[in-house]
């Protein structure tokens, strides 16, 4: 069985729409997070989805859900899997399976307020993509190179994306005032 056949049909339909109406390709998405309970557990809402984010027990959490770092790894792995599935047919690569493993290295001292020579985020991100295919090496390698240029999550992590933010201070309303 070849994976990605339904994806290939969907890609062609979507490409036709985006070609005719480029504005249809633009999107603005939001995620809203709030602390729930008395610990690390954080409820995140993304469109119609809700997920629970936590920290491992070793860091004071309850391990009730993935950590923020887990979600970054998961995002990259899922985006790469979907990018391979999305573009395989274009390169004539039939895939029976796609698996991506993402590994990161981090020194958590800065994140915990301890001065350290390393940044608070990842010091390294590595991935291994395993493609189960009978296709010759050349089109598979061309597919892999194409995916690295066209994967949104790879781009987000490689490029310095402008980050803007603000902090709103909300004070309780004094009923006697």
Predicted local distance difference test score (pLDDT) of residue 8:
81
Which domains does the chain carry? 5-25+68-158 (3.30.300.20), 31-66 (no CATH)
Whole-angstrom distance, CA of residue 169 vs CA of residue 94: 54
104 against 174, higher pLDDT = 104
Tokens of 111: 């994140």
Cβ count near 174 (within 10 Å): 6
How large is the average pLDDT for residues 61-77? 96
Alpha helices per DSSP H over the chain: 5-20, 68-87, 137-150, 152-158
Predicted local distance difference test score (pLDDT) of residue 160:
86
Return phi, psi of residue 126, to 5°: -130, 150
For residue 120, what are the contacts with CB-CB under 8 A and spacing of at least 6? 108, 110, 111
Q: Helix or strand or coil: residue 86?
A: helix
Q: Which residue has the tokens 């989805």?
A: 49
pLDDT digits (tens, 9 = 90+) for 4-40: 677 888 888 998 999 999 999 999 999 999 999 889 9
Predicted local distance difference test score (pLDDT) of residue 4:
66
DSSP symbols for 3-45:
BTHHHHHHHHHHHHHHHH-GGGG------EEEE-TTSS-EEEE
pLDDT digits (tens, 9 = 90+) for 76-119: 999 999 999 999 999 999 999 999 999 999 999 999 999 999 99
pLDDT digits (tens, 9 = 90+) for 143-168: 999 999 999 999 999 998 899 999 99
Predicted local distance difference test score (pLDDT) of residue 9:
84
- Environment class of 147 (CB within 10 Å of its CB; exposed 0-12, middle 13-18, buried 19+): buried
Q: What is the CA radius of gyration of the chain?
A: 21
pLDDT digits (tens, 9 = 90+) for 35-57: 998 899 999 999 999 999 999 99
């Amino acid at each position: 069985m070849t994976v990605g056949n339904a994806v290939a049909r969907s890609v062609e339909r979507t490409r036709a729409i985006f070609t005719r109406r480029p504005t249809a390709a633009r999107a603005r998405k939001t995620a809203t997070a709030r602390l729930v309970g008395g610990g690390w557990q954080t409820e995140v809402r993304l469109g119609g989805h809700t997920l629970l984010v936590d920290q491992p027990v070793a860091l004071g959490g309850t391990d009730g859900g993935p950590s923020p770092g887990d979600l970054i790894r998961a995002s990259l792995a899922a985006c790469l899997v979907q990018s391979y599935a999305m573009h395989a047919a274009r390169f004539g690569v039939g895939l029976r399976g796609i698996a991506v493993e993402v590994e990161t290295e981090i020194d958590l001292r800065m994140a915990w307020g301890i001065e350290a020579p390393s940044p608070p985020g990842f010091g390294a991100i590595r991935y291994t993509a395993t493609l189960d295919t009978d296709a010759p090496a050349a089109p598979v390698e061309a597919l892999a190179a194409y995916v690295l240029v066209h994967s949104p999550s790879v781009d987000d992590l490689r490029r310095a994306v402008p980050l803007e933010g603000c902090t709103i201070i909300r004070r309780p309303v004094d009923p006697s005032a």
